[in-house]
Amino acid sequence: MKKILFFALIALCLSACQKEAVQPKVYGRYVPERKDDFAWENEYAAFRFYGPALAPENPSNGVDIFMKNTPEFVIDTFFYNYVNFKTPYHVQHGKGFDGYKVAHTTGCGGPAFVANDSLYVGDQYDRWEIIEQTPSKLVFRLHYDSLRIAGALYSEEITVTAAAGKILNRADLVLTALEENIPMRIGAGLYLHDSVGTYRFLEETQGIVYTETALSDPGAVRLNKKWYDNTDLGQTHEAVIVPGSTPCVIANTALALVDYVPGDTLTYWFGGCWDRWTDGKQSFPTQEAWTEAVLKETKRQ
């Protein structure tokens, strides 16, 4: 009897270890119930790109970020409660919220295209596909069939890789000239929201870090005031790393840009985190702490 109990205990322990080993830490999906968003997350933050159903609202190919104060997944809960109970996910109900305003900008690390010293951003994606999805990694690709840059027509393809334990996502961006090609620089941008925060160029990594109020969306300010009479929700840290780039600011957007030839692949990294996020071991209460984490992760890329 003792032997049976002993082996049963071992079996239970092994089973528990296996379940712990495959606990997903990265998640993403197409969200048809929220106007064709494509959303994803890991332990640190959640993000989304905008899809076809949002076209009447003039979206961009910029990146939206959802703040989290927990390593748990939140996007399914946010969208479910929004669709079924009209509970706004722009309000901090306990595990995070969307207080970020993208509009027609690069948002938090979206692609940026500069020609004749003017900044261009694209519209919503046309098609999506998941390339790989495991408990520790998500790879998906979005296709943009029509992108106008200074009058010239291109198509855009962006492949995003999100991994467990990473504060930055990897982006592989390719443009295809559909008409004539024009000289341009491309890269990634952080929209500065009327200078409600502070940014810093990182010469050693050819990147940018930015810290701003976590409520950059005026609508989110009003909703948090209405629901909980609270508009003090800390700050959001953001970053883009574009190897070989030079920094500049155009149209209130901090940019890291490189010269570009259509057909080439530009690889860059982007991400963000709430200053109130913590897993009990790591946190980013200041821009200095966030910058240190970005530099440390960049060295491992």
End-to-end CA distance of the chain: 53
Q: Is residue 85 situated within a structural domain? A: yes
Alpha-carbon distances of 257 from 102, 114, 195, 248, 297, rounded to whole Å: 20, 8, 20, 8, 21
Starting at the edge strand that comes first in sequence, how are the strands of the sheet with 64-68 ordered? 27-31, 37-41, 46-49, 64-68, 96-97
**pTM (2 d.p.):** 0.91
Residues 244-290 have pLDDT tens digits of: 999 999 999 999 999 999 999 999 999 999 999 988 788 999 999 99
Q: Is residue 10 situated within a structural domain? A: no
Q: Is residue 3 situated within a structural domain? A: no
Alpha-carbon distances of 144 from 170, 183, 292, rounded to whole Å: 18, 20, 34
Please say whether the beta carbons of 156 and 147 come within 8 A.
yes
Q: Is residue 9 situated within a structural domain? A: no
Structural domain that includes position 250: 24-299
CATH number at residue 288: 2.70.98
Q: Is residue 83 situated within a structural domain? A: yes
Q: Is residue 11 situated within a structural domain? A: no
169's CB contacts (< 8 A; 6+ apart) are 47, 109, 160, 161, 162, 269, 270, 271
Alpha-carbon gap, residue 263 to 183, rounded angstroms: 13
The total number of structural domains in the chain stands at 1
Q: Is residue 16 situated within a structural domain? A: no
Nearest to 125 by CA among 30, 230, 246, 28: 30
Please say whether the beta carbons of 70 and 34 come within 8 A.
no
Residue 295: other Cβ atoms inside 10 A: 16
DSSP per-residue codes, 35-69: TTEEEEE-SS-EEEE--GGGGGG---S-BEEEEES
Q: Is residue 8 situated within a structural domain? A: no
pLDDT value for 194: 77
Report DSSP state, residue 179: S
Please say whether the beta carbons of 68 and 23 come within 8 A.
no
What's at 214, amino acid-wise?
A
Alpha-carbon gap, residue 217 to 213, rounded angstroms: 9
Residues 1-24 have pLDDT tens digits of: 444 444 344 444 444 444 455 799
Please report, in tens digits, the pLDDT of each residue of the chain (301 residues total).
Answer: 444 444 344 444 444 444 455 799 999 999 999 999 999 999 999 999 999 999 999 999 999 999 999 999 999 999 999 999 999 999 999 999 999 999 999 999 999 999 999 999 999 999 999 999 999 999 999 999 999 999 999 999 999 999 999 999 999 999 999 998 999 999 999 999 976 689 999 987 899 999 999 999 999 999 999 999 999 999 999 999 999 999 999 999 999 999 999 999 999 999 999 999 988 788 999 999 999 999 999 987 6
Alpha-carbon gap, residue 49 to 127, rounded angstroms: 11
